[in-house]
Amino acid sequence: MAETITARAMEKKKFADFTRAIVDNGYQLYGPAIEGREAIIAQIAEQADVSFDYRNFKMSPKDLFLSQSEVLCRFCRGEIVPDAAADDGRRVLLGIRPCDAKAISLMDKVFLQEPADSYYKRKRDNTVVISAVCSSPEDTCFCTSVGGSPASTEGSDILLTDLGESYLLEPVTPKGEDFLNRFSSLTRNASKNEVREKERIVEEAASRMQKMDLEGIAERFAKAFESDLWDTPSQRCLGCGICTYFCPTCHCFDVTDETLHENGRRLRTWDSCMYSLFTLHASGHNPRPSQRERTRQRFMHKFSYSVDNYGELFCVGCGRCIKHCPVNIDLREVIAP
């Protein structure tokens, strides 16, 4: 990649012009905002002072593609009524980490496969993803063990690297290329040194993460289905939804109707395979009656079924489930060879 001169660079002092130009071009700009001690992704004003020196966003950006609550349709007296066109408009997602961008590419496999999920697709089509290379992974991070890297490009349209004085901007997709071309007056060709510096940053970050050898985990898990591997984590599991809600690839949802007098809406909301009611039939039968089956389901889905179905692990190593679990269920202990 270093040889191709597709990489652009932007002086940091021009970055405010860049974000202003993005907004002036009619995009909603989502980027890093600091809330208390934590970084979150939020719609930001064009003059916002953007910096990328957070470790990662507290929650993944999946809510921007698969909202926690989303209206599928509205109805009145039992009949569907046209919705005031929920046009999300064009958006730029700035500063998500490559692990979260990769998670979007995994969600694509589920939601864009036929029949495509029209709600997800519209948001995906309308969004330019500019991810920011990760230079300071947390001690719960393990992206390199699950096929990622602090600079992986899957799911991103443009990859940004903070080089201190300047930003390196590498287009990943034609969409990203087009986007950068529109702001070409603010960028210049990146120098070889800049590209080299990025590589150094990435190597440095990668070296700080422990690496597990997960080769063949899908088969290993398939064989372990009836084993005691699940006993310890499931005994401890409280059955809350933190791991699934914080996970950038967990995408299970519920569909329910809500009505007030004659009007109502059909709503899609996040759900979790950790909840006891998730698979409960109306008859009272529950195919996953205890937390053991439910805990196993989550691991099997991410590390075995997804490999069978999509050829990919549905874990990007962001470590959020580890960091936020109230009883310290550490996914790494379960998946480690």
Among 25, 43, 47, 118, binds another protein (CB under 8 A): 118
x/- mask, another protein, residues 189-208, rule CB under 8 A, reads -------------------x
| Residue linked to tokens 């002092």 | 13
- Does residue number 252 form part of the binding site for another protein (CB under 8 A)? yes
Applying CB under 8 A, the site for another protein has a residue count of: 85
Which residue's CB is nearer to another protein, number 14 or number 294? 294
Site for another protein in 278-337 (CB under 8 A): 278-283, 285, 287-291, 293, 297, 300-301, 304-305, 308-309, 322-324, 326-328, 330, 332-333
Among 19, 135, 140, 249, binds another protein (CB under 8 A): 140
Least distance in angstroms from the C-beta of 309 to another protein: 6
Least distance in angstroms from the C-beta of 11 to another protein: 27
User: How do strand 166-171 and strand 8-11 relate by DSSP bridges?
Assistant: antiparallel
Which residue's CB is nearer to another protein, number 78 or number 174? 78
Least distance in angstroms from the C-beta of 58 to another protein: 8
CA–CA dist 51, 12 (Å, integer)? 10
Report how far apart, in Å, the C-alpha atoms of 241 and of each of 65, 143, 193, 324 are.
19, 22, 45, 11
- Does residue number 125 form part of the binding site for another protein (CB under 8 A)? no
Which residue's CB is nearer to another protein, number 24 or number 254? 254
Which residue's CB is nearer to another protein, number 42 or number 280? 280
Name residues whose C-beta falls within 8 Å of residue 256's C-beta, 6 or more positions apart in sequence.
Answer: 266, 267, 269
User: How do strand 38-43 and strand 253-260 relate by DSSP bridges?
Assistant: unpaired
Site for another protein in 155-184 (CB under 8 A): none
Name residues whose C-beta falls within 8 Å of residue 128's C-beta, 6 or more positions apart in sequence.
Answer: 27, 90, 91, 92, 93, 157, 158, 175, 176, 179
180: which DSSP letter? H
- Does residue number 88 form part of the binding site for another protein (CB under 8 A)? no
CA–CA dist 177, 171 (Å, integer)? 5
Site for another protein in 28-47 (CB under 8 A): 36-37
- Does residue number 62 form part of the binding site for another protein (CB under 8 A)? no
CA–CA dist 180, 190 (Å, integer)? 13
- Does residue number 235 form part of the binding site for another protein (CB under 8 A)? yes
Quick one: how far is CA 172 from the chain centroid?
17
